[in-house]
């Protein structure tokens, strides 16, 4: 466990981030592609936007190095073992 009590590894953090991002993309795309008078259309678009907002909050709140607290860069491999900023081992 790290200094701030966050015991999730990088893989779990990336899975949560991708679920939120792709959930937002899918909900928004289905809502936009739906028929104009479909009542579910607005709900899907709002849900998609909420997923994007949740992903942004998660990105800046939890998707960080537990040691130097820098936000991980986009495209970081799931097999990355060391923080690209401080060099400490990511667990």
The angle at the Cα of 73, spanning 68 to 77, to the nearest 5 degrees, equals 105
For every one of its 91 residues, what pLDDT tens digit does the chain have, with 9 covering 90 and above? 444 555 677 888 889 999 999 999 999 999 998 777 778 888 999 999 999 999 999 988 888 888 888 888 767 777 778 888 888 887 6
24 touches 48 (CB < 8 A) = yes
pLDDT for 1: 42
pLDDT for 7: 65
Q: How far is Cα 45 from Cα 62, in angstroms, rounded to an integer?
A: 25
pLDDT for 20: 95
């Amino acid at each position: 466990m790290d200094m701030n009590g966050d015991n999730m590894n990088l893989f779990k953090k990336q899975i949560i981030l991708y679920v939120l991002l792709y959930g937002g993309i899918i909900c928004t795309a289905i809502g936009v592609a739906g028929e104009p008078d479909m009542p579910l259309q607005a709900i899907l678009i709002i849900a998609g936007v909420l997923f994007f907002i949740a992903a942004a909050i998660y990105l800046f709140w939890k998707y960080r190095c537990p040691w130097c607290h820098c936000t991980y860069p986009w495209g970081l491999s799931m097999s990355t073992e060391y923080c690209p900023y401080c060099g400490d081992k990511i667990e």
